[in-house]
Amino acid sequence: MVRSGPTGLSARATIDPADPVFAGHYRGFALLPGLFLVEYVSAAVRAATAQAGIRPVAVERAKFHRPVFPGDELAIEASLAVDNGELRCVATVATAVGPVADVRLSYQATELVRQLSCQATELSGG
Amino acid sequence: MIGVAEIKRIIPHRFPVLLLDGVSEVDPGRSLVAYKAVTSREPHFADLDEYAAPEAYAYPVSLLLESWAQAAVLLARWAEPNPDVLTGRVELLAGIRRVELPHPVYPGSVLRHHVELVRAVDDAAIFTGRTEVDGVTVVRVGQFTLASRTIDMLRLETKE
């Protein structure tokens, strides 16, 4: 589930305990690979921008505060800003126990940037 | 040099998230080169329909970096294998800085992960490196930090 505006997004996701990933990460102790949180943020940006092909060109920074387990509910809050032709996403990911990760992604998406600028203009004009 | 069977004796990652096929070079405690072939049979491509755009077949960034991370864990545990987290330790990703992804990766590519250990202190290790496909750099990793925990420390967190 994703809600978004021209400058940010909120998304919720549940870590499915039946996800096959847990058979191999790890046997006897299921733990979500930290990088999968980057994928959840990335998926939220794809959904919020309605750009299925949009791909990050950099993970500027990511910090992982605590592990995520099957069944955890993720709350993603992110800001989106255009800077020098790049779209920057600054996201925090939290579960019921508190923040689990901070993720900063960059995208190079000319068409998207144009659309976002239009949206922002329409909003400020309205 | 070594293949999947030997990799499984060193790190605890297993199917479907053991994302390495082999190791071609290692200088223990310093550097390692590992590889993985990306194919159209990767599980996440199963959901794509007839109308999926060509870009949809780009290998996801999370898996690309997870594959590189497993090469880092392999270097970290080369001399002290950790095939079972229940009797050993768990390597957790603590942080990433300046990872650049200049080109997407598509099925048919063989990833060559170059990993260098920058330093190891107590329960943390810092790595740097890159990934190449046919000599073209597809990932540049500025800094990648792993933290090592015992299973008991992690079990406490699940109960919080």
B100 touching chain A per CB within 8 A: yes
pLDDT at residue B140 greater than cutoff 60:
yes
Please give the pLDDT value at position B156: 83
Per-residue model confidence as pLDDT tens for chain A (126 residues): 677 766 889 999 999 999 999 999 999 999 999 999 999 999 999 888 887 778 899 999 999 999 999 999 999 999 999 888 889 999 999 999 999 999 999 998 666 555 665 555 444 433
Contact B149, B93 (CB under 8 A): no
The number of folded domains in chain A is: 1
Contact B17, A33 (CB under 8 A): yes
Q: What is the pLDDT of residues B7-62, one digit of tens each?
A: 999 999 999 999 999 999 999 999 999 999 999 999 889 989 999 888 889 999 99
| Full domain range(s) for residue B140 | 2-159
Chain B stretch 17-76, residues whose beta carbon is closer than 8 A to a beta carbon of chain A:
17-18, 43, 53, 55-56, 58, 60-63, 65-66, 69
Please give the pLDDT value at position A75: 98
Chain mean pLDDT for chain A: 87
The DSSP 8-state label assigned to residue B17 in this structure reads S
Any idea what the CATH number is for the domain that residue A68 is in? Answer: 3.10.129.10
Distance in Å, alpha carbon of B15 to nearest chain A alpha carbon: 5
3-state secondary structure at position B108: coil
| Full domain range(s) for residue A49 | 2-125
φ/ψ (deg, to 5) at B76: -65, -35
CA distance A56 to A51: 12
Please give the pLDDT value at position B116: 98
The number of folded domains in chain B is: 1
Chain B residues close to A95, C-beta within 8 Å: none
Contact B90 A56 (CB under 8 A): no
Please give the pLDDT value at position A24: 97
> Is the pTM of the predicted complex or chain greater than 0.95?
no
